[in-house]
A = this chain, B = another copy of it.
Amino acid sequence: MKIALAQLNYHVGDLVTNTTDIVLNIKKAQQFNVDLLIFSELSVCGYPPLDLLDYPGFVKKCLESVESIARICTDIGVIIGSPSFNENEKGKNLYNSAFFLYDGNIQSVHHKTLLPDYDIFDECRYFEPNNEFRIIDFKGKKIGIAICEDFWFSQPVANSFGRTLLYRESPMDKLMELNPDFVAGLVATPFAASRIEARKEVYMKNSEKYGIPLFVVNQTGANSDLVFEGGSLVINQKGEVFDRLAFFEEDFQIYELDEVTDTRAHGLKLNIKDPVDMTFQALVLGVRDFFYKLGFKKAIIGLSGGIDSAVTAVIAVKALGQKNVEALILPSRYTARDSLEDAVKLAETLGIGYHIIEIDRLFDLYTELLNPLFNNLPEDNTEQNIQARIRSNILMACSNKFGSVLLNTSNKSESAAGYSTLYGDMCGSLSVLGDVYKTRVYEIAGYINKNTEIIPEGIISRPPSAELKEDQKDSDDLPEYDLLDKILYQYIELNRSASEIKEAGLDPSSVDKTISLVNNSEYKRYQSPPVIRVSEKAFGYGRKIPLVGKF
């Protein structure tokens, strides 16, 4: 039996585009005489469709797409994902389903059992869990279907509560009672730099435990905040990787089932993926798809001469091409000559257009107009914020005039600490580095400069500064980034309390200060741009902290 995996980049909600892509892949598979072609979870609508699922009309259109796709599946078996209606009287309105198409019709429907509801996942909001298992009998083989989280039951899940079993039932145990010959897995796993190998191992352990081959199809591409890595897997019945599809791009591969299950074959030895390299690639894809899917071409970036805007610019150029990236350099009297020169040098190295607009006259005019109100009050953050907001007004004016998209350049450390100006440097349609701690930004800069100096050395070696007042340094207001990032990681990713972080040996006063900065800046992050998620816990929909109250 010839089995093909179609790892595609879906457009969430765009049923026409997705259906067309699916049909083209079915035609390709038909040309190669493929018996069974597998797509990923919710492929018809793309993952995650979010509250589009609250529109019954949208779900109806998804099902119409499934039916129209079924019509061309005359001589080929196809498994695709789509939401479907719960026809029972009780329970949630929908199922997260896989459809088996053959002979021009829908042959069977299989629902997802374990519905993830944590971090960015909220499937209990829409879907009723499955409680009936069925097998597909196809050309002499029995095929089981599992959808994403269904594989995860019996695996230790790292969890701040120290519990390893999160779910109520094991769908794989149930499915195995039906004795499938192999399992088709439809998944949609958003990228997290630390989880690539962990995911692979979950599939390998399932395969090993049940002695069964798995064909696991992931989607690729990015949908604003979420990047999907691809890397679909074929695992043999011994729990070894038979093949892995490309990362961060579409892929289509065909396998002979007998070759996968050949007991003499050895699994692939896969290198451990470098998280810095993978993060860089994920960010590039995140930027590229954001523009592509929203129909934009050109980006605009404010270059400060600092490392965050430099790394963001490199990612944008990689994603969109140098001719589609434009920089504004907006110096003030507080901008060091080195910063200005390095910003220019970077723009020239990258070959992107740039303009320099000095903001001092605007700043002075704001100060003059506000003087009757401010009187003789001493300077404070206000004056710094005015400068940041002058810059954002100029950047947004260029964005509006030229139809280019402003990229936000804040990193996760400063976003966490609230070390930023709301409506100032927090502006932008997409935050490229908002899920990348400062120490990792430096690692990415090193990765970028691995072979040639693209980012000027001075940008990397100069101590970080917002340059909004005389002789300012980030370390005047924040713990050193090495320490800050360690505290933030424990607080945000591991959900540890202040006392637990102190017990882990980190400087107590820095811990208290950092946590207080994080808690007191929730109101800023509430109005942040969407952040490309590359960790297990990004700011945005996956982390919902009350704005009001002390804790």
- Which residues of A pack against B, CB within 8 Å? 11-17, 46, 48-52, 54-58, 85, 89-93, 117-118, 122, 124-125, 159-163, 165-168, 222-225, 289-290, 293-294, 355, 357, 361-362, 365-366, 369-370, 372-374, 377, 380-382, 385-386, 389-390, 392-394, 396-398, 400-401, 422-423, 427, 429, 495-497, 499-500, 523, 526-530, 541, 543-551
A383 → B minimal CB distance (Å): 8
A546 and chain B: residue at smallest CB distance:
B12
Q: Give the oligomeric copy count.
A: 2
Kindly list the 9 A-B residue pairs having the minimum CB-CB distance in the complex, ordered from nearest: A57-B497, A13-B551, A124-B124, A13-B549, A12-B549, A382-B400, A224-B547, A293-B548, A389-B393
Find chain B residues with CB under 8 A from A499 CB: 57
A522 → B minimal CB distance (Å): 9
Cα-based distance from A398 to B222 in the complex (angstroms):
39
Find chain B residues with CB under 8 A from A541 CB: 541, 544
Interface pair A293/B385, CB less than 8 Å apart: no
Interface centre among A12, A92, A160, A393 (most CB of B within 10 A): A393
A509 → B minimal CB distance (Å): 19
Interface pair A550/B11, CB less than 8 Å apart: yes
Interface pair B373/A294, CB less than 8 Å apart: no
Interface pair A357/B370, CB less than 8 Å apart: yes
Interface pair A11/B548, CB less than 8 Å apart: yes
A-B contact pairs, 24 of them (CB 8 A): A12-B548, A48-B546, A50-B546, A52-B545, A57-B497, A57-B499, A58-B497, A91-B166, A91-B168, A117-B124, A122-B544, A223-B548, A224-B547, A225-B547, A290-B548, A294-B523, A294-B547, A357-B373, A370-B398, A374-B401, A377-B401, A380-B400, A381-B400, A541-B541
Cα-based distance from A254 to B249 in the complex (angstroms):
66
A361 and chain B: residue at smallest CB distance:
B365
Find chain B residues with CB under 8 A from A398 CB: 370, 373
A161 → B minimal CB distance (Å): 4
Q: A382: which of B377, B401, B422 is its contact (CB, 8 Å)?
A: B401
Find chain B residues with CB under 8 A from A89 CB: 163, 165
